[in-house]
Each structure stands twice: as structure tokens, then as C-alpha cells.
Structure 1
Amino acid sequence: MKRQLALATLLVDDYDRAIAWFTGALGFGLRQDQDLGNGKRWVVVAPDGNPGAALLLARASTPEQQARIGDQTGGRVGFFLHTDDFARDHAAMLAAGVEFLEAPRHEPYATVAVFRDLYGNTWDLLEPRQ
């Protein structure tokens, strides 16, 4: 059986605001934006050219979901964005206003820096070592 992780849900407060940030600040592509009725949409974004996993941007619809926007992982890094050129993507993200929480560091496994998304979730930007 062939399987792969396809989507991870990210709670957001507004579809259009989230789409604008992920496509603008991170350069992701908008894979799907389908109206499901009653104010719900199926919105999927992912790095351009990446056939793998993507993010389902889900507008929080209950008080419990709204309370978790920006803190889906309890303050831990919850998302990992791999790149083949750390310097290029780090510079582009800085120019787009992405907030990095540290300077780039060189670890045995990768060049890495932690950044926040629009909602405060923490991510690693990583260029893995070969």
C-alpha cells in the first residue's frame, strides 16, 4: 500500500487574509479555493512545485477553535519548511515582512531559523544537509 501525508490543518481567522499571507510572505501557491456554502471554503496552499503535503487553511468556527489560532502546538515549532537555498528564501521572507525569532544557525542536520506565521505559530525554515 502506498500512502503519504497529504494535508495538515491550520486554523485561521479569515480565509482571504490567510491566503494573502501564505502566498505573499511565503510564496506558496493556492492549490484550491472552493466554496462549500454557509461561509465555509476548502482552501489549500503549498510551496510552489511541491507535489507533497499541503496546508488546509480552516477558518475557526467555534470559540474553542478560535482560542487555538496561533497556538496549535502549545508554543513548540509545529511546521517545517524545507528549502534548497536557505539564503535566498530567508532574504525573500525577510523582505516580505516575515518575523524571524533568531538569526540563522548551522546545525549538524541543517541551516535553520525559526519564524512566526501570520497567527504566531512557529515554523522552522530549514536547508537540510546532504
Structure 2
Amino acid sequence: MQIIVTSLFVDDQDKALKFYSETLGFVKKHDVPAGEFRWITVVSPDNQNGTELLLEPNDNPAAKDYQKQLLEQGIPATMFGVTDVHKEYKRLLKHGVTFTMEPTEMGDHTLAVFDDTCGNLIQIIERK
């Protein structure tokens, strides 16, 4: 069994697609109509056949509440691995990304947390 798609609730699919592709550097894999919304997935540029991240609309009241509670409590909605957190932190700052936690060493890991502008906090982590 493999994880092929994982979802992330977003408050605006167009805004999310722009942020995740243009700012973070993911590659759009799918963008197809799905009722009043779209099935939009992005993938890592270096593993385009790997796990897809579904930018799922938070139109459901339960989804909105879940997303809001995570954000208010400062809990990242998901985590992305990077090879160098400090380098990625500097790159994202240049793109205007707001961090809620600067690169911080925790044992064998260095992590940082930023706001994705779509209702989520995202953690990036470097494993040593």
C-alpha cells in the first residue's frame, strides 16, 4: 500500500495553486473540473510521479472549522522535507512568505513554519 494523494484544505483554490507552484516550486499535476470546484494536485518537481498534494476547497463547515482551529493553535497542517532549511527559509523570505517560526534546531532536525496564505501553517524540515 502506498500514499498516492494527500489533501490540504485551502480557502481559495486559485490562490493556493499560484502559491504552491510559483512560490514553493511544486508542479501542477492535475487541474480538472469537479462540480463547482476543481481537482487540483501538485507534486514535487524532482518526483513528479510521487505523492500528489490535493488542494482541496474547505467549503464544508467541518473543514473550515478544522482548518481554523489548527491555524489558531499554531499547528502546521502538513510538513515538507527540504535539504537545507536555512537556504529555503531565505529563498521564501525573498518571495514575501511570512514565517511564524524561524529555522530552529530540534535534536536531529531543523524546522521552520510559515503561513501559506490559504489558511494553513506549513512546516518545513531538514533531517540530519
Q: Give TM class, smaller chain.
A: 0.7 to 0.9
Percent sequence identity over aligned pairs = 27
Answer yes or no: is 1:32 the counterpart of 2:30. Answer: yes
Query: Aligned partners of 1:71 and 1:27: how far apart in 2?
Result: 27
1:92 is displaced (CA, Å) by 1.4
Query: Aligned partners of 1:4 and 1:29: how far apart in 2?
Result: 20
Q: What residue number does 2:39 align with?
A: 42
Q: Which structure 1 segments of 5+ residues have no match? A: none
Amino acid in structure 1 at the alignment position of 2:78? F
Amino acid in structure 2 at the alignment position of 1:48? P
Higher helix share: 2
SS of 1:11's equivalent?
strand
Q: What residue number does 1:52 align with?
A: 50
TM-score, normalising length: structure 2: 0.82
Q: Is the 8 A contact 1:69 1:119 kept in 2?
A: no
Query: Aligned partners of 1:114 and 1:102: how far apart in 2?
Result: 5
SS of 2:102's equivalent?
coil
Aligned residues: 126
Query: Aligned partners of 2:76 and 2:67: how far apart in 1?
Result: 14
